[in-house]
Amino acid sequence: AITVTNNTASTLTNFQVSIPVTYDADMQADFDDLRFTNSSGTALDHWTETYTASTSATVLVEVDSIPASSSATVYMYYSNSSATNGSSIGNTFVFGDEFSGSSVDAGVWTVTDATGWSVAGGELSGTNTTGRLTSISTFSSTSVLEIKSRYTTLPGNGYMVGGFNLSTSNGIGYLGHPG
């Protein structure tokens, strides 16, 4: 059993909790057989963020409810050699994309300018400063934006990794500008 604690005065609902998992010989080497439930036995969505085969994994579990200033119990199951991968970023978060295909997923993104965009090896690559992707999903004002990014070459005129478009003329985001 895994105890997750809520140190706030409000109940957390559908809250993602990071759970480090150390490999056990009864697990699949790629952690595909991991499953999680709440104390009532209801399956909980999860996403395997990273793993090193037969060593460890970081799994984010969407816990249905963690009472205010209290804790909840999550159960982890494994040892099913025929289980297929149950990890899903889209079910665990309001929005997410692992870029698992070979092109930008038109069911997730609106492509304003496709010039320079490519998808390979679980990464989205952009090679021009005018290209733009916009999520099809819209979000409430209580959303948190988390982006994992890296760059190989910085454009001299700056770059924007991600942000929120508040209206057609107003937005916020991270703008990197070398110099």
Per-residue tens of pLDDT for the chain, all 179 residues? 999 999 999 999 999 999 999 999 999 999 999 999 999 999 999 999 999 999 999 999 999 999 999 999 999 999 999 999 999 998 999 888 888 889 888 888 888 877 788 899 888 887 776 777 788 887 776 677 777 777 777 666 666 677 766 666 666 665 555 54
pLDDT score, position 167? 62
State the pLDDT at residue 157: 67
Task: Output the pLDDT for position 126.
Answer: 78
pLDDT for 131 equals: 72
Q: In angstroms, what CA-CA distances link 151 with 24, 99, 100, 158? A: 35, 17, 19, 12
Record the pTM: 0.80
- Answer for the pair 30, 87: CB distance below 8 angstroms, yes or no: no
Tell me the three state secondary structure of residue 174: strand
